[in-house]
Amino acid sequence: MDLTVTTLSREQALSLTERFLSARFADADFAFVAGSIMRGTGTPSSNIDLVVLHSTLPHAHRESEVFEGVPFEALVHDDGTLRWFLEADVEAGRPVLIRMVMEGAPIGPRPQRADALRREAEALLIKGPPPLDREALDRMRYVISSMLIDLADERPEFERVAIGAALYQALGDFILRSNGQWSGASKWLPRQVRAFDPVLGDAFIAAFDALFREGETKPILDCAEKVFAPHGGLLFDGYRADALAKWRK
């Protein structure tokens, strides 16, 4: 796959996207152009992320393609499927599509609905994710506590890395969701933690850096101890989770 070796400017990305839409989505009404290139933080390997809107579709779908040497990731919707997936973002607590619609630049032949959809996405982002109840927080704390107990033991390096990789997402999710904040995945997770609390965010990043670079576990254990302190610390002894009665055959 021959990808471009230079980083596109915002203007270049918009011009290229217009050609891409004409060639691949000629029947679409418009698209939101989003992603790191549009934010001015792109790299030579960055995708151009699109939310493509049609008047009506049998179902939503995703398409990935390299066009003129540049990778495109297109999420293809009509208004109804878009709203369903926006609500799915809310339930998951990760506003991936919400941000794409809110921040994306609308282009295409019939963009009249773009402003209204952006306002809907913005309202969802401002409202925030649904609060987690005590049961959900305890479940997260229990799972993370088990990982921390495992991490504290003497283990082979590959096991420490595996535990740390799972703990990275789980602890970041807990930090954010326990404080009523949107969470994120992959590179967005440390950004979200740091945006919520710069001091805690730096400690979170440094702790996992120490684990993955040096094999040191103490910084993560110390960070988690501070995070869990307002919630009662590690959770194992006395924890109970009931399955639903209908979970039987």
Tell me how far CA of residue 131 lies from CA of 90, 108, 174, 178, 190, in angstroms: 11, 37, 12, 8, 21
DSSP state of 232: T
Q: What are phi and psi of 144, to 5 degrees?
A: -65, -40
Question: DSSP E strands: which ranges in 21-173?
Answer: 30-34, 48-53, 61-67, 70-77, 105-107
Please give the Cα distance from 177 to 5 (Å, whole number): 38
The phi, psi pair for 113, rounded to 5°, reads: -85, -5
- Put simply, whether the predicted model's pTM sits higher than 0.85 gets the answer yes
pLDDT tens sequence across 35-74: 888 888 878 888 999 999 999 999 999 999 999 999 999 9
Bigger pLDDT: 206 or 8? 206
Q: How far apart are CA 152 and CA 149, in angstroms?
A: 5
CB 20 within 8 A of CB 67: yes
What distance in Å separates the CA atoms of residue 62 and residue 51, rounded to the nearest whole number? 9
CA angle (65, 70, 73) in 5-degree steps = 40
Evaluate whether the domain defined by 10-127 bears CATH number 4.10.140.10. Answer: no
pLDDT in tens, 181-231: 999 998 899 999 999 999 999 999 999 999 999 999 999 999 999 999 999
**Rounded to a whole number, what is the distance in angstroms from the first to the last CA of the chain?**
48
Say if residues 32 and 106 touch (Cβ distance below 8 Å).
Answer: yes
Adjacent-strand bridge partners of 97? none
109 CB neighbour count, 10 Å cutoff? 11
pLDDT greater than 60 at residue 118: yes
DSSP class of residue 109 equals S
